[in-house]
């Protein structure tokens, strides 16, 4: 990696720039504001781009696009057509209509989407257990992810990307990690019913609570709860099979297994795990993909399937009274 462009100046952009410098200390990094605002100093950046045209002229080898979701494809298409490999932060885009632009990507485009939870060792162990049918035939799963938005986005949460529909906000897109790994685990899912709600706590123009019932093509019944309200945060996936149950707690970084009896076995527990390692792993996988080596990157097709699912949920959803 010689030249890396990072679009966006938010927290995730800072993490990406720092990680590039850690893994590739000789790489030159350009930071570019997605909003067009001018800044004088950006941590872990060798160059501060003033315009996107300047960034294209710089001819980066790699780009990480961490702008609001509504502009992801604007940057990605131009960069890919210029020969730059792109890692697009999740979600791929803001809605299903934007997916029509994917036909502007060349067939050999070097592009991946940043659903980083897949790179957690715990996530890969759950996937391994499912692939090995360690739980027998899967009957169903329950997923819950909730975090209080003002603590998650402490500076002007009401003005953050998470809280603005036109930028790709709302729990369905902001917490679409859960919908991504759900389909990674169980294959394509269809929405059966959905209830979306606002809250009197935050009064945003996006859905702040979502309760979903989905069914996979393999007949796995999935219940998913997402919210911007929980404090302390909660994040787990519980899977029931004919030969046991598995519970993955993403907060404590623990996987517990019951084999059909009351006997509990801890399959994995790493409370001291540095979550930045997940991002470092993603960056290494991205580089492997760009070089034609085996990799575990999330493809455009997989990320597009998540956008299709989110739009299907919104079309089928009922809106409940504010909580």
- Residues 12, 84, single domain; the answer is yes
189, part of any domain: yes
Total domains in the fold of the chain: 2
Q: How far apart are CA 17 and CA 9, in angstroms?
A: 10
In a domain, 19, yes or no: yes
Looking up residue 150, the CATH number of its domain turns out to be 3.30.360.10
- Given this model, what pLDDT does residue 159 score? 62
Residue 30 is classified by DSSP as E
Where does a domain end: 115, 131, 153?
Answer: 115
15 and 85 assigned to the same domain: yes
Residue 285 falls within a domain, yes or no?
A: no
Residues paired with residue 196 on neighbouring β-strands, in sequence order: 210, 319
Name the residue range of residue 97's domain. Answer: 3-115
Same domain, 106 and 142: no
Number of other residues whose CB lies within 10 A of the CB of residue 270? 13
Q: Which of 115, 146, 162 is the last residue of a domain?
A: 115
Report the candidate in 306, 284, 319, 304 with the shortest Cα–Cα distance to residue 19.
284
pLDDT tens string 165-221 = 777 789 999 999 999 999 999 999 999 999 999 988 887 889 999 999 999 999 999
Q: Give the pLDDT confidence score for residue 162 in this predicted structure.
A: 78
The 10s digit of each residue's pLDDT in 236-255 is 999 999 999 999 999 999 99
Instruction: Lowest mean pLDDT of 135-144, 155-164, 244-253, name the range.
Output: 155-164
Q: What pLDDT, on the 0 to 100 scale, is given for residue 68?
A: 94
Tracing tokens 């057509």 back to the chain, one arrives at: 81
CA pair distance 87, 84, nearest whole angstrom: 10
Name residues whose C-beta falls within 8 Å of residue 173's C-beta, 6 or more positions apart in sequence: 69, 91, 94, 310
Which of helix, strand or coil describes residue 35?
A: coil
User: With bands split at pLDDT 50, 70 and 90, how would you rate the model's confidence at 37?
Assistant: confident
Q: Which two tokens stand for residue 208?
A: 């702040």
pTM for the full model? 0.95
């Amino acid at each position: 990696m010689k030249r890396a462009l990072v679009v966006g100046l938010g927290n995730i952009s800072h993490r990406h720039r720092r990680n590039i410098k850690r893994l590739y200390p000789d790489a030159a990094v350009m930071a570019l504001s997605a909003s067009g605002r001018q800044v004088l100093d950006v941590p872990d950046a060798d160059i501060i781009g003033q315009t996107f045209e300047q960034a294209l002229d710089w001819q980066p080898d790699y780009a990480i696009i961490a702008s609001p979701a509504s502009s992801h494809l604007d940057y990605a298409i131009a960069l890919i057509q210029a020969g730059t490999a792109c890692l697009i932060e999740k979600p791929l885009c803001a809605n299903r209509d934007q997916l029509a632009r994917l036909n502007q990507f060349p067939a050999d485009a070097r592009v991946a989407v940043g659903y980083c939870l897949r790179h957690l060792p715990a996530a890969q162990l759950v996937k391994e257990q499912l692939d090995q049918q360690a739980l027998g035939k899967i009957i169903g799963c329950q997923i819950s992810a909730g975090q209080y938005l003002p603590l998650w986005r402490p500076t002007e949460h009401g003005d953050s990307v998470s809280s603005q529909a036109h930028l790709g906000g709302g729990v369905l897109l902001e917490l679409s990690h859960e919908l991504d790994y759900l389909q990674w685990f169980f294959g394509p899912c269809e929405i059966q019913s959905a209830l979306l709600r606002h809250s009197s706590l935050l009064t945003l123009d996006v859905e702040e609570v979502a309760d979903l019932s989905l069914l996979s093509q393999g007949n796995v019944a999935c219940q998913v709860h997402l919210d911007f309200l929980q404090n302390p945060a909660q994040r787990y996936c519980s899977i029931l099979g004919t030969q046991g149950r598995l519970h993955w707690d993403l907060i404590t970084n623990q996987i517990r297994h019951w084999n059909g009896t009351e006997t509990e076995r801890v399959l994995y527990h790493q409370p001291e795990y540095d979550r930045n390692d997940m991002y470092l792993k993603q960056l290494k996988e991205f580089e492997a993909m760009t070089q034609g080596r085996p990799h575990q990157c999330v493809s455009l097709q997989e990320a597009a399937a998540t956008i299709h699912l989110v739009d299907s949920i919104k079309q089928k959803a009922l809106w409940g009274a504010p909580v």
